[in-house]
A = this chain, B = another copy of it.
């Protein structure tokens, strides 16, 4: 990230000003192509002091930020140099209208990219806002293959600020994704456990004073620092790509005004802690109006799970204090991990901004209720939806459906609901056995679909987790959140049809429900899944097909695996 640097000489400042003026003009220029060339590689890095093999893009994790303007075409040439491992990259929040084959979801929209192959993603970023990219293959995202997409608007925004900065939050494991995945697929089940540390824009600090400096060297890492000029307004784009953790993000002594969520303008509201779930992005405005003679803590903390991971700590550095000077205070205490109320309150507070409201259809054509449960299948632990644990096929759905490969996946769709009149969401299920399937939901094109995420008790007594669900290819309207069992007759009446926010990722809170609505108007095949890496790996997801007959000619570059091996488009 380019950091703002002061100079005592006036000339560089003027040059900088010129640059911004020129850049301002570019903003109004015609849509253009933004080219990126990425080498993806395993390298040793010590993001939290602990040395571990990570996946880098051009040597870095997080990878480079994609910067584009609304309407631009982003072209990313990905060169896989992982030696023996394939990859695919998902452009999280980009709807891929007209290019469903470049959604980057292995098994759903494409075959994986082989070592030595160069794959070109090419898609339009049709809306301004803050988006993400990350690996979408196995549990590869956790190895460090992720970054930000910032799309500048063509029109003026409904808020002003002096500087625009980005911070990606993450949690960080010291075990490899291979070890984690093998544990999840073992009998007995071996859970991944809590992450060793929390990263703020790729930087953390694991206390490794007990370990050899060859393995973990606390002199080899430093906390993230955000240098700010006193008396200004900063737009901070906060994004989370945690593997597991729900987070509370805070800047000591500074309120944050939420103005954007997942690329949509939010009716502003002020928070002290921003709760953020894996796959979400927010823009907040922060005034640097505190005592400028010192620095302040930036913190991220686990919520919703009984945290054992120490807080992620960064420095909000008021210029000209030294950027590494520790604040004179102790970092602010995080909210209670098990108090879901303020998290639910924040969810409810997020509404579309006046003047930027996209009204949802007032009725829906189909309601799919998705009961989230933990299950056992042949002694293996899984997550399921309506007792069906999702598995990915090896022939991507998009290709199978478009090319009429009939036996690539189970043709029986999963159920639209669960007999949860009889299902006690507040207790451990007496029969935790489930089934697994790679069947998908087929949606009628251009219809309105409601998705009700229903949370339940896990296989542990008095326990229900937070699941951030992410929909590919769409934004959805968030119609409501509630506690307990969703009531089809009454809760629907309380839907917010006036100013619901549109998002692509949304939490379902412990023992609660979340109601979403979207239009099946984007021809393609789209995943909808819990964004917790291990949960999706364990089957917590579904897939929707809509308008497959309207999908254009598939590029042959996405083919070559499963039953598309040998597919040749001359």
Contacts and interface: CB of A to CB of B under 8 A. Distances in A.
A83 to B, nearest CB: 5
A179 B53 contact: yes
A556 B182 CA distance: 31
A85 B86 CA distance: 6
A179 B178 CA distance: 12
Given A44-B183, A181-B42, A183-B44, A561 B116 contact: yes
Given A561-B117, A566-B567, A566-B569, A140 B179 contact: no
Contact of A566 (B85, B182, B183, B559): B559
B116 A394 contact: yes
Interface string A189-217: 01000000000000000000000000000
Contact of A560 (B116, B181, B566): B566
B112 A114 contact: yes
Contacts of A230: none
A520 to B, nearest CB: 28
A84 interface: yes
A565 interface: yes
A461 interface: no
A489 B568 CA distance: 55
A43 B183 CA distance: 8
A176 interface: yes
Interface residues of A, number: 37
Contacts of A181: 42, 83
Given A42-B182, A176-B178, A140 B556 contact: no
A186 interface: yes
A84 B561 CA distance: 12
A42 B178 contact: yes
A173 B182 CA distance: 19
Interface in A519-570: 556, 559-562, 565-569
B43 A182 contact: yes
A559 B179 CA distance: 30
A115 interface: yes
A495 interface: no
A433 B178 CA distance: 37
Contacts of A179: 44, 53
Interface string A99-141: 0000000000001101111000000000000000000011010
Which of A84, A111, A117, A181 is packed against the most chain B CB atoms within 10 Å? A84
B556 A53 contact: no
Contacts of A53: 176, 178-179, 182
Contacts of A114: 86, 111-112, 114, 394, 561-562, 565
Contacts of A568: 566-568
Contacts of A561: 114, 116-117, 560
Contacts of A182: 42-44, 53
A529 B569 CA distance: 37
B83 A84 contact: no
Interface string A31-75: 000000000001110000000010000000000000000000000
Nearest to A570: B566
Contact of A565 (B43, B117, B137): B117
A298 B54 CA distance: 40
A137 B178 contact: no
Given A84-B85, A182-B53, A562 B138 contact: no
A83 B107 CA distance: 12
Interface string A215-229: 000000000000000
Contacts of A566: 556, 559-560, 566-569
B562 A116 contact: yes
16 contacts: A42-B181, A44-B190, A53-B176, A83-B181, A84-B85, A84-B86, A84-B138, A84-B140, A86-B115, A112-B115, A116-B561, A117-B565, A178-B178, A560-B560, A566-B567, A566-B568
Given A53-B182, A83-B178, 18 more contacts: A44-B186, A44-B190, A53-B178, A53-B179, A83-B181, A84-B137, A86-B114, A112-B114, A112-B115, A114-B561, A116-B562, A117-B565, A176-B176, A176-B178, A556-B565, A560-B566, A567-B568, A568-B568
